[in-house]
Structure 1
Amino acid sequence: MNNPSREEIKKILDTAKTIAVVGLSPNPNRTSYMVSEAMQKAGYRIIPVNPVADEVLGEKSYATLADIPHPVDIVNVFRRSEFLPELAKEFVGIDCPVFWTQLNVVDEDVFKELADAGYTVIMDRCIKVEHAILK
C-alpha cells in the first residue's frame, strides 16, 4: 500500500471543494466531528453520511453515499476497517475520484482494488493533519 506523495495530496486538497464524511458523528466530542468541523472552517463543504443523524455541522445528513444528490470530490471514511469492502463497493457507484480513510483504518485489498480501478486512495492518514501540514 503506497499512499500518494505529499505533493499529490496537496493537489487533491487544493482542488477539492466537497468532502463526504462517512461515519460523521453529530457528537462534538468525537474525532469525526472535530476533524470535519476543522475542514469546514478551512472552506470545504462537508456532507455527512450517517443513517441515524438528520444533520451534522449545519449540513443535511445522508444515509448512504448513493443518496447524496450532487458530486463530491473526496469520500473520507471514519468507520472501522472491517466496513471498507462494503464502503468501497458503494464508493465505486458514485462519481468521486478520491477514497480517503482516517488513521488506523486500513484494508490492503480495498486499497489495491480501488487503485487498480483508477481511483486515488489514501489510507491511514488524517485529512485534517495533512491539510495543516500542506497549506
Structure 2
Amino acid sequence: MPVTDDAGLRELLSADTVAVVGCSTTPGKPAHDVPRYLREHGYEVVPVNPYADEVFGVPAADGLADVDREVALVNVFRPSEEVPGIVDDVLARRERVGDAWGLWLQLGIEAGDALARAETAGLRATQDRCLKVEHGRLID
C-alpha cells in the first residue's frame, strides 16, 4: 500500500540524499525546479539523466547503477510506463549497495504493480505526489 499519510510522507522526506531520475537541465520544468528546491532546502541531489553531463554543477549519472554515493530516496520524473524498469534498477541497487530505502513517484506518475513490488521488497513508496508540495506542506 503506497504511503499516503502525513507521518509516512514525513518519513520519506527525512531522506538526506535524493537521486532524481529524469532530472532536467531546463529551468522551468518541474524535473529541474523540484530538485533545485530540494537543494535549496538542504537535500543532497544526485541527478540521473543519461543525456546531461551535469545539473546544478553536479555530475549527472547515466542511471542508478552509476551513482557513486549513498542514496536514501529515489525521486522519479519519468513516464509511468518506465517505472517498472526503474523499480528493477532500485531493487538491484539495494541488493548491490544496500541503500535506497524510499521511492517517490512525482505528480501524475503512477505504477501500482511496480510500486507494490517495491514495497514487497521493503521500500517505503508513494506515487502521484509532488515532493516539493508535500515538503512545503509538511516540513517547511
Whether these two folds match at TM > 0.5 is yes
- 1:17 is displaced (CA, Å) by 0.9
Corresponding residue of 2:18: 19
Residues in 2 aligned to 1:92 and 1:13: alpha-carbon distance in whole angstroms: 20
Residues in 2 aligned to 1:23 and 1:92: alpha-carbon distance in whole angstroms: 18
Residues in 2 aligned to 1:35 and 1:2: alpha-carbon distance in whole angstroms: 21
- 1:3 is displaced (CA, Å) by 2.1
Corresponding residue of 2:96: none
Corresponding residue of 1:104: 108
Corresponding residue of 1:46: 45
Superposed CA deviations along residues 38-64 of structure 1, whole A, max 9, x for unmatched, are 111000011000001000012110000
Corresponding residue of 1:61: 60
Superposed CA deviations along residues 56-103 of structure 1, whole A, max 9, x for unmatched, are 012110000010011101000000000001111001011210011001
Q: Give the TM-score normalised by structure 1.
A: 0.95
- 1:9 is displaced (CA, Å) by 1.4
Q: CA RMSD in A?
A: 1.1
Tell me which moved more, 89-98 or 3-12: 3-12
Structure 1 unaligned regions, length at least 5:
none
Residues in 2 aligned to 1:4 and 1:96: alpha-carbon distance in whole angstroms: 19
Corresponding residue of 1:133: 137
Indicate the percent of aligned positions where both proteins have the same amino acid.
37
Corresponding residue of 1:115: 119
Residues in 2 aligned to 1:18 and 1:2: alpha-carbon distance in whole angstroms: 21
Q: Amino acid of the residue matched to residue 45 of structure 2?
A: I
Runs of 4+ in 1 over 4 A off after TM superposition: none
Secondary structure of the residue aligned to 1:79 is coil
**Correspondences of 1:24-39 after superposition (within 5 Å):** 24-39=23-38
